[in-house]
């Protein structure tokens, strides 16, 4: 599903190149649950941003579902956002002025899904996440864990093939974090959604089936997680 | 999608209530002013509109070119009326319309006056109705004024005289004392926005002087209109007109290169040289000036909007980022932000309509009811409002929408968006532009007000305090009573002096003529001829500097001239002028005295060269100097006396100083308009500044807290926050000064007498803006500086 070949990213500052990523080559298959780990400043988030096409690599090739991303036009990229990629953020990033239901509805609007189907999908997702009662609340009326659930619901409602999550539990207490990670795992196993998360926590990484460790912009380790849980 | 956008927009506006309030208030006040200006301009442009053949209707006007001055008149010489029709090719119809004033009476069967009123009467040729497509209630347009001694009335006049317009037909009215006129038609009232305030039109055949043959006598009420043949324009008959001019003026050796020209009907209202019957001209420059002020107003209000929106953009950055990764196109974001702007603009427009509606009566008042405007007067007004909303919506919304939709999602999501920190940001430039406009208007207002003060305080060279002018009937019969009247006036307690004259020393009613000086024809200027009796000089306190004044006499046997006259005929020593002969009436009359100059025209004009002489037949006014203490009682007694002596006539009185002041009515109105609009622009600018300051203060809360922890005092913090704003306003002053200087010095050039343009209005404007800025921003920055440090720091 994802092919990275020799991805490099650096910033040139006064003639000095400061590398963020070097020679990153890897591939991620459909249905994998990959955790990207590493110390602060190693380049995890940059890698995720590149995968999410929010940043462009300085060099290298990136194929998403067989298509060359670097050659894509803005419109094609937006089409990918609409149909294949869902984002989950550490700080949830719900739109404050929208209610829970409206936040979930937003991506469907961009996908131009007809009203009746939108309603049924939203109802479906709310139901699944046990949030029917909260659908008319605004984000600031929810706890962090609940907000992140809405964030995930919003990513899911458009039925993406991959979810990119940047420290999804970074702002949450451990019980809430566990709940979120369980959800990810369930989505991965039951619905076959590819999940890519950046995390600091060993424990969270164990939920997935593969761990990429990055240090100083280079992939240090690429291991499979034993299914011991 | 649109519905959701709308909902989000409303929630967003509600969340930032303060900024929304500032935006809406600023915009609606600006828009209301714009609507008012538009209504006014539209009303002015609508003068004489929708006359069927308006493109083919022209007015004959007359101009003179002397070596040293040009003169213009809206009228023609009487013989030109007949001759033009015969000699100029291409005229389909032509009609004279002469304005006079008469007393009009309606009598009952016994001969008692039912109505007696001083009226403006127009002598009109029948073709006039066809040229202008007059609308009749009762009459046959072609025959209405064919006969002598017929009159047509407007609906209002007919009702006034006969109670009902239908009754009027066939009835008689008396003009003056004996001329009987038969009513042969009633026409629909002429709208207010017309250069022809016609109520009573008498057939031209009735006009006693219609066969006058004087080609160089042009009396200001004698207008002449032509309708060109279908398809012709003014330039098509130019050659024919030139021939006409040559034959009738040049070949007849009429003085001053007298010439007739054509003026298009729709130009009459905007004519700068030529007056008209309605006395309501407005120059195109004034209209453009107002248009520019309207544009200024809108730009100022839009700048507020742009500044506050871009300042707030950071708060919306996250939303932009999230929406983008959800698959929103930039275009969709732009549409979303524009929706918000249009919502605000629409709300502002609704409030603006209410404000405008409230302000319309004040505006009509300001123009003393000479205009009538309304929001629902014409469909074009709604088109204008719609355009205004579109224009403002795009002007104010487009730039912020482009900026905000352009955020890159990564930076936006991580709240790393920084908006032009330091440098010459657009926001700063806009503030400078906004304040430059405000300062230009402040300076202009100060200058206009000071000039008006100057005009009011200027010594005019005569003393008209407590001098009342009353009408003086001057037909051969009433003239016999003049002696008696004067004697009896002087016996009334409180009456100090009485003089018979044509008018006050300063008056726009000019009688002027070419002349020979000591036998040599003068080609430089026309001499203004004033007629007054021997008491005129002492009554108005005119100072004699050489020779003597004339003694009591019925006709002119000696001229008193002013210094300007001497200067114009190049005599330096007043003594040398005594005994020189002036001939402006066909008679050589010597100069017997020279008086000090006084302002004989409004202070917009220079003093004319003039002669004063006796002339019993031309005294139309009596000037009466009253005692301050008996002002009111004397006034009443004078009127009683007058009515007993001249029972057939209508009494009229006015104080000289009041009429002099009324000459600056336009300037006074302009002063008020400037004050109001400058006030509005300053207000809009400062609430914008306040909003911006509030935003900057919030932005820098954390920085301020840290500085405070590091030991900064409140004063230092306030100074830091205020600094950049004061600098911007200071720069705006520097930008505004030269522009303002150009504008006001150009305006002052319109006055022959003007105040010295000093640096003070400029300094004053700077002080005003700097002080208000300091106050405005300090309110907010002080609040920010004394805010609780801990709150700011624990926030993150």
Gap between the Cα atoms of A82 and B240, Å rounded: 78
3-class secondary structure, B622: strand
Establish if A72 belongs to a structural domain. yes
Tokens of B37: 């200006």
Gap between the Cα atoms of B551 and B567, Å rounded: 26
Residues of B with CB under 8 A from a CB of A: 1, 4, 7-8, 11-12, 15, 318-319, 321-330, 332, 408-410, 413
**Worst-scoring range by mean pLDDT, A160-174, B700-714, B740-754, B756-770?**
B700-714
Residue of B69 and A228 predicted with greater confidence: B69
Chain-centre distance for alpha carbon A171? 15
Q: How close A114 comes to chain B (CA, Å)?
A: 11
Contact criterion met (CB < 8 Å) for A78 and B318: no
Strands B200-203 and B259-264, by their bridges, are unpaired
pLDDT value at residue B417: 62
Contact criterion met (CB < 8 Å) for B413 and A93: yes
Give me chain B's average pLDDT, please. 86
Interface check for A95 against chain B (CB to CB < 8 A): the answer is yes
* Residues in chain B closer than 8 A to A96 (CB atoms): 15, 319
Interface check for A119 against chain B (CB to CB < 8 A): the answer is no
Name the residue range of residue B12's domain: 1-47+282-419
* Residue B61 and residue B43 share a domain: no
**Residue from A96, A139, A171 whose CB has the most chain B CBs within 10 Å, to mutate:** A96
* Residue B94 and residue B216 share a domain: yes
* Residue B197 and residue B128 share a domain: yes
Q: To 5 degrees, how large is the angle CA B200–CA B202–CA B206?
A: 155
* Residues in chain A closer than 8 A to B410 (CB atoms): 49, 54-55
Q: For residue B795, what pLDDT band results from cuts at 50, 70 and 90?
A: very low
* Residue B202 and residue B114 share a domain: yes
* Residue B299 and residue B216 share a domain: no
Residue B89 CB coordination number (10 Å): 13
Checking if the pLDDT of B659 tops 80, the result is yes
Name the residue range of residue A114's domain: 2-224
Contact criterion met (CB < 8 Å) for B327 and A98: no
Q: Are A162 and A31 in contact (CB under 8 A)?
A: no
Considering B270, B291, B307, which residue would you say is the last residue of a domain?
Answer: B270
Quote the DSSP letter at residue B246. I
Considering B589, B621, B648, which residue would you say is the last residue of a domain?
Answer: B648
Q: How close A82 comes to chain B (CA, Å)?
A: 5
Instruction: Count the domains in chain B.
Output: 3
Checking if the pLDDT of A145 tops 80, the result is yes
Considering B622, B648, B674, which residue would you say is the last residue of a domain?
Answer: B648
Establish if A167 belongs to a structural domain. yes
Gap between the Cα atoms of B241 and B231, Å rounded: 17
pLDDT value at residue A227: 55
Chain-centre distance for alpha carbon A186? 15
Establish if A195 belongs to a structural domain. yes
3-class secondary structure, B119: strand
- Any idea which residue has 């008018």 for tokens? B503
Residue B643 CB coordination number (10 Å): 12
* Residue B561 and residue B618 share a domain: yes
Give the residue on A whose Cα is nearest the Cα of B332.
Answer: A110
What integer is the mean pLDDT of B398-403? 86
Interface check for A81 against chain B (CB to CB < 8 A): the answer is yes
* Residues in chain B closer than 8 A to A99 (CB atoms): none
Establish if B728 belongs to a structural domain. no
**Residue A19: CATH number of its domain:** 3.40.50.300
DSSP codes of every residue in chain A: -EEEEEEEEEEEETTEEEEEEEEEEEEE-TT-EEEEE-STTSSHHHHHHHHTTSS--SEEEEEETTEESTT--HHHHHHHHHHTEEEE-TT----TTS-HHHHHHHHHHHTT--HHHHHHHHHHHHHHTT-GGGTTS-GGGS-HHHHHHHHHHHHHHT--SEEEEESTTTTS-HHHHHHHHHHHHHHHHHH--EEEEE-S-HHHHTTSSEEEEEETTEEEEEEEPP---
Contact criterion met (CB < 8 Å) for B323 and A106: yes
Residues of chain A with pLDDT > 90: what percent? Answer: 28
What integer is the mean pLDDT of B472-487? 86
pLDDT value at residue B793: 59
Establish if A31 belongs to a structural domain. yes
Establish if B601 belongs to a structural domain. yes
Gap between the Cα atoms of B199 and B466, Å rounded: 35
Q: How close A169 comes to chain B (CA, Å)?
A: 16
Establish if B435 belongs to a structural domain. no
pLDDT value at residue A42: 85
SS (H, E, C) A68-93: ECCCCCHHHHHHHHHHCEEEECCCCC
Residue A175 CB coordination number (10 Å): 8
Residue of B373 and B263 predicted with greater confidence: B263
Q: For residue B356, what pLDDT band results from cuts at 50, 70 and 90?
A: very high
* Residues in chain A closer than 8 A to B318 (CB atoms): 93, 95
Establish if B746 belongs to a structural domain. no
pLDDT value at residue B389: 92
Contact criterion met (CB < 8 Å) for B4 and A109: yes
User: What is this structure's pTM?
Assistant: 0.80
What integer is the mean pLDDT of A112-134? 90
Contact criterion met (CB < 8 Å) for A75 and B328: no
* Residues in chain B closer than 8 A to A78 (CB atoms): 327-329
Establish if A201 belongs to a structural domain. yes
Establish if A64 belongs to a structural domain. yes
What integer is the mean pLDDT of B338-350? 90
Gap between the Cα atoms of B253 and B768, Å rounded: 61
* Residue B91 and residue B233 share a domain: yes
Checking if the pLDDT of B739 tops 90, the result is yes
Establish if A229 belongs to a structural domain. no
Establish if B782 belongs to a structural domain. no
Q: Are A172 and A180 in contact (CB under 8 A)?
A: yes
Interface check for A92 against chain B (CB to CB < 8 A): the answer is no
* Residues in chain B closer than 8 A to A89 (CB atoms): 322, 413
User: Can you name the residues that pair with B181 across neighbouring β-strands?
Assistant: B173
What integer is the mean pLDDT of B10-14? 85
Tokens of B757: 């343009």
* Residues in chain A closer than 8 A to B323 (CB atoms): 95, 106, 110
Gap between the Cα atoms of B577 and B572, Å rounded: 9
Facing B322 at nearest CB: one of A82, A95, A102: A95
* Residue B286 and residue B247 share a domain: no
Interface check for A223 against chain B (CB to CB < 8 A): the answer is no
Q: Are B769 and B728 in contact (CB under 8 A)?
A: no
Q: Which residues contact B723 (CB under 8 A, 6 or more apart)?
A: none
**Worst-scoring range by mean pLDDT, B96-100, B176-180, B420-424, B518-522?**
B420-424
* Residue B159 and residue B123 share a domain: yes
* Residues in chain A closer than 8 A to B322 (CB atoms): 89, 93-95
What integer is the mean pLDDT of B178-186? 87
Give me chain A's average pLDDT, please. 88
Facing B1 at nearest CB: one of A54, A94, A109: A109
Establish if B156 belongs to a structural domain. yes
Gap between the Cα atoms of A182 and A186, Å rounded: 6
Quickly list H helices, B326-419: 330-366, 379-405, 409-413
**Worst-scoring range by mean pLDDT, A221-225, B312-316, B675-679?**
B312-316
Facing B325 at nearest CB: one of A75, A81, A109: A81
Contact criterion met (CB < 8 Å) for A97 and B8: yes
Establish if B593 belongs to a structural domain. yes
Residue B49 CB coordination number (10 Å): 13
* Residue B207 and residue B83 share a domain: yes
Q: To 5 degrees, how large is the angle CA B747–CA B749–CA B754?
A: 95
Residues of chain B with pLDDT > 90: what percent? Answer: 18
Q: How close A161 comes to chain B (CA, Å)?
A: 14
* Residue B228 and residue B303 share a domain: no
Q: For residue B790, what pLDDT band results from cuts at 50, 70 and 90?
A: low
What integer is the mean pLDDT of B561-588? 88
Q: How close B388 comes to chain A (CA, Å)?
A: 29
pLDDT value at residue B577: 87
Gap between the Cα atoms of B27 and B301, Å rounded: 5
Instruction: Count the domains in chain A.
Output: 1
Reported as a single tens digit per residue, the pLDDT across B627-653 is 888 888 888 889 889 888 888 778 888
Tokens of A40: 């602060």
Contact criterion met (CB < 8 Å) for B413 and A105: no
* Residue B87 and residue B22 share a domain: no
What integer is the mean pLDDT of A103-111? 87
Establish if B580 belongs to a structural domain. yes
Tokens of B520: 């040599």
Q: Are A170 and A200 in contact (CB under 8 A)?
A: yes
Nearest-10 crossing angle of helices B17-45, B665-699: 160
Facing B410 at nearest CB: one of A55, A94, A96: A55
Q: For residue A228, what pLDDT band results from cuts at 50, 70 and 90?
A: very low
Residue B472 CB coordination number (10 Å): 23
pLDDT value at residue B142: 63
């Amino acid at each position: 599903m994802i092919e990275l070949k020799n991805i490099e990213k650096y910033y040139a500052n006064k003639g000095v190149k400061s590398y963020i990523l070097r020679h990153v080559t890897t591939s991620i298959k459909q249905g994998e649950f990959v955790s990207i780990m590493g110390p602060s400043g190693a380049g995890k988030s940059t890698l995720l941003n590149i995968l999410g096409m929010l940043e462009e690599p300085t060099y290298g090739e990136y194929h998403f579902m067989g298509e060359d991303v670097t050659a894509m036009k803005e419109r094609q990229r937006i089409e990918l956002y609409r149909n294949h990629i869902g984002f989950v953020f550490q700080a949830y990033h719900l739109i404050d002025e929208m209610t829970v239901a409206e936040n979930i509805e937003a991506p469907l609007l961009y996908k131009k899904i007809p009203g009746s189907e939108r309603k049924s999908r939203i109802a479906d997702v709310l139901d699944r996440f046990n949030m029917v009662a909260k659908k008319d609340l605004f984000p600031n009326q929810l706890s962090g864990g609940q907000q992140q659930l809405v964030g995930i619901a919003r990513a899911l409602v458009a039925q993406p093939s991959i979810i990119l999550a940047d420290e999804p539990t970074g702002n949450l207490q451990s019980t809430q974090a566990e709940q979120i990670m369980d959800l990810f795992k369930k989505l991965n196993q039951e619905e076959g959604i590819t999940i890519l998360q950046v995390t600091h926590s060993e424990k969270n990484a164990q939920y997935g089936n593969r761990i990429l460790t990055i240090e100083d912009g280079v992939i240090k380790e690429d291991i499979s997680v034993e299914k011991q849980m | 999608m649109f519905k959701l956008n709308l909902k989000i927009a409303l929630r967003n506006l509600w969340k930032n209530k303060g900024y929304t309030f500032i935006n809406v208030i600023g915009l609606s006040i600006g828009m209301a002013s714009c609507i008012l200006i538009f209504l006014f301009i539209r009303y002015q442009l609508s003068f004489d509109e929708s006359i069927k053949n308006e493109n083919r209707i022209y007015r004959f006007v007359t101009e003179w070119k002397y070596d040293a001055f040009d003169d213009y008149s809206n009228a023609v010489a009487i013989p030109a009326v007949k001759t033009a029709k015969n000699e100029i090719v291409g005229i389909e119809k032509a009609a004279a319309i002469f304005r006079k004033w008469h007393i009009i009476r309606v009598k009952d069967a016994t001969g008692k006056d039912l109505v007696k009123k001083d009226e403006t009467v127009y002598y009109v040729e029948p073709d006039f109705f066809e040229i202008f497509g007059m609308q009749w209630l009762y009459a046959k347009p072609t025959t209405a004024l064919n006969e002598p001694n017929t009159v047509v009335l407007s609906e209002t006049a007919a009702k006034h005289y006969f109670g009902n317009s239908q009754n009027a037909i066939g009835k008689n009215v008396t003009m003056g004392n004996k001329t009987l006129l038969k009513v042969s038609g009633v026409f629909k009232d002429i709208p207010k926005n017309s250069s022809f305030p016609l109520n009573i039109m008498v057939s031209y055949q009735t006009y006693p002087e219609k066969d006058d043959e004087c080609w160089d006598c042009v009396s200001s009420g004698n207008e002449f209109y032509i309708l060109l043949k279908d398809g012709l324009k003014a330039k098509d008959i130019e050659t024919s007109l030139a021939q006409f001019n040559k034959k009738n003026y040049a070949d007849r050796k009429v003085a001053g290169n007298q010439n007739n020209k054509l003026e298009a009907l729709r130009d009459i209202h905007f004519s700068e040289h030529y007056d008209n019957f309605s006395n309501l001209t407005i120059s195109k420059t004034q209209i453009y000036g107002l248009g520019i002020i309207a544009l200024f107003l809108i730009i100022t209000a839009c700048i507020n909007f742009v500044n506050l929106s871009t300042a707030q953009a950071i708060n919306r950055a996250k939303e932009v980022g999230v929406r983008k990764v959800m698959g929103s196109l930039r275009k969709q974001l732009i549409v979303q932000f524009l929706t918000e702007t249009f919502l605000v603009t629409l709300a502002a427009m609704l409030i603006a309509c209410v404000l405008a509606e409230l302000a319309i009566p004040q505006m009509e008042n300001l123009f003393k009811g000479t205009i009538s405007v309304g929001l629902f007067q014409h469909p074009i007004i709604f088109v204008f409002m719609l355009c205004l909303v579109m224009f403002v919506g795009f002007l104010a919304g487009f730039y912020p929408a482009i900026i905000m939709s352009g955020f890159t999602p990564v930076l936006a999501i991580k709240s790393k968006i920084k908006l032009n920190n330091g440098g010459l940001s657009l926001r700063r430039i806009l503030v400078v532009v906004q304040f430059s406009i405000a300062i230009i208007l402040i300076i202009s207002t100060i200058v206009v007000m000071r000039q008006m003060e100057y005009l009011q305080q200027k010594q005019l060279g005569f003393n008209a305090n407590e001098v009342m002018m009353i009408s003086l009937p001057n037909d051969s019969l009433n003239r016999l009573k003049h002696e008696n009247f004067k004697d009896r006036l002087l016996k009334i307690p409180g009456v100090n002096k009485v003089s018979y004259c044509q008018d006050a020393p300063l008056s726009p009613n000019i009688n002027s003529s070419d002349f020979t000086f000591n036998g040599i024809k003068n080609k430089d200027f026309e001499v203004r001829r004033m007629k007054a009796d021997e008491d005129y000089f002492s009554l108005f306190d005119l100072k004699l500097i050489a020779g003597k004044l004339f003694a009591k006499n019925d006709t002119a046997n000696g001229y008193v001239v002013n210094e300007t006259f001497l200067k114009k005929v190049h005599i330096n020593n007043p003594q040398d002028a005594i005994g020189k002969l002036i001939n402006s009436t066909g008679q050589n009359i010597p100069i017997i005295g020279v008086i000090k100059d006084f302002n004989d025209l409004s202070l917009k004009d220079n003093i004319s060269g003039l002669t004063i002489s006796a002339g019993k037949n031309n005294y139309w006014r009596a000037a009466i100097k009253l005692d301050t203490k008996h002002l009111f009682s004397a006034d009443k007694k004078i009127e009683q006396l007058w009515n007993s002596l001249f029972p057939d006539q209508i009494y009229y009185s006015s104080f000289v100083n009041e009429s002099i002041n009324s000459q600056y009515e336009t300037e006074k109105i302009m002063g008020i308009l400037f004050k109001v609009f400058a006030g509005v622009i300053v207000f809009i600018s400062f609430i914008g500044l306040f909003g911006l300051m509030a935003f900057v203060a919030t932005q820098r809360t954390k920085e301020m807290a840290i500085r405070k922890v590091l030991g900064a005092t409140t004063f230092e913090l306030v100074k830091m926050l205020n600094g950049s704003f004061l600098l911007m306003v200071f720069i705006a002053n520097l930008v505004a000064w030269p522009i303002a200087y150009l504008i006001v010095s150009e305006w002052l050039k319109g006055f022959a007498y003007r105040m010295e343009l000093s640096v003070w209005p400029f300094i004053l404007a700077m002080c005003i803006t700097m002080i208000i800025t300091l106050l405005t921003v300090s309110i907010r920055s002080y609040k920010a500086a004394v805010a609780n440090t801990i709150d700011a720091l624990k926030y993150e």
